[in-house]
Amino acid sequence: MTIRTLVFAAAVLAAGIDTAIAQSEQDAPASPVLRASITVNSDVVRIGDLVENAGAAAQIAVYRSPDLGTTGTLPAAQLLETLRNHQVIGVDAGKIREVSITRSARTLAVKDITMQVARALERRNGLGDAANLSITFDRDLGDLQLDASNSGDMRASAVRFDQRNGRFDVTFDIANDASGTPTKLRFTGIAIETVEAAILTRSVERNEILKVSDVSMERRPKAEAGNDAALRDRAIGMQMRKAMRAGQPLRAADLSKPDRVARDQVVTLIYETPGLYLTGRGKALESGSEGDTVNVLNLQSKRTVQGVVVGPGQVSVSTTVPSIVTASASTSIADQTSAANASTDSKKAE
Task: Give the torsion sign (CA, 120, 122, 123, 125).
Answer: positive
Please give the tally of structural domains in the chain. Answer: 4
Chain segment 112-158, per-residue pLDDT in tens: 999 999 999 999 988 999 999 999 999 999 999 999 999 999 999 99
Q: Which of 212, 238, 256 is the last residue of a domain?
A: 256
Q: For residue 243, is it within any domain?
A: yes
Whether residue 186 sits in one domain with residue 126: yes
Highest mean pLDDT among 159-163, 262-266, 271-275: 159-163
Q: Which of 194, 211, 246 is the last residue of a domain?
A: 194
CA 331-332-337 angle, to 5 degrees, is: 95
Instruction: Give the residues across from 280 on adjacent strands.
Output: 269
Quote the pLDDT of residue 139: 92
Whether residue 180 sits in one domain with residue 114: yes
Q: For residue 13, is it within any domain?
A: no
> What's the mean pLDDT when you consider all of the chain?
85
Whether residue 57 sits in one domain with residue 94: yes
Quote the pLDDT of residue 257: 86
Q: For residue 17, is it within any domain?
A: no
Whether residue 263 sits in one domain with residue 343: yes
Q: For residue 325, is it within any domain?
A: yes
316 close to 323: Cβ distance less than 8 angstroms: yes
Domain hosting residue 140, numbered range: 108-194
Q: For residue 335, is it within any domain?
A: yes
Q: What is the CATH number of the domain that holds 219?
A: 3.90.1210.10
> Cα separation of 36 and 58, whole Å?
17
Q: For residue 5, is it within any domain?
A: no
Q: For residue 1, is it within any domain?
A: no
Whether residue 310 sits in one domain with residue 230: no
Whether residue 345 sits in one domain with residue 281: yes
6 against 167, higher pLDDT: 167
User: Quick one: average pLDDT of 197-215?
Assistant: 94
Q: What is the DSSP letter of 29?
A: P
Helices (H), 173-267: 222-225, 232-235
Is it the case that residue 13 has pLDDT exceeding 80?
no
Q: For residue 225, is it within any domain?
A: yes
Whether residue 294 sits in one domain with residue 248: no
Q: What is the CATH number of the domain that holds 270?
A: 2.30.30.760
> Cα separation of 184 and 186, whole Å?
7
Whether residue 135 sits in one domain with residue 204: no
> Cα separation of 191 and 186, whole Å?
15
Q: First-to-last CA distance in the chain?
A: 148
Q: What is the DSSP letter of 238?
A: -
Could you tell me the CA-to-CA distances from 286 to 132, 264, 307, 311, 347 in Å, in that order? 43, 7, 11, 15, 30
> Cα separation of 183 and 180, whole Å?
10
215 close to 240: Cβ distance less than 8 angstroms: no
Q: Which of 208, 224, 256 is the last residue of a domain?
A: 256
Whether residue 97 sits in one domain with residue 126: no
% of the chain surpassing 90 pLDDT: 63
Whether residue 167 sits in one domain with residue 115: yes
| 3-state SS assignment for residue 119 | helix
Could you tell me the CA-to-CA distances from 38 to 44, 250, 286 in Å, in that order? 12, 60, 85
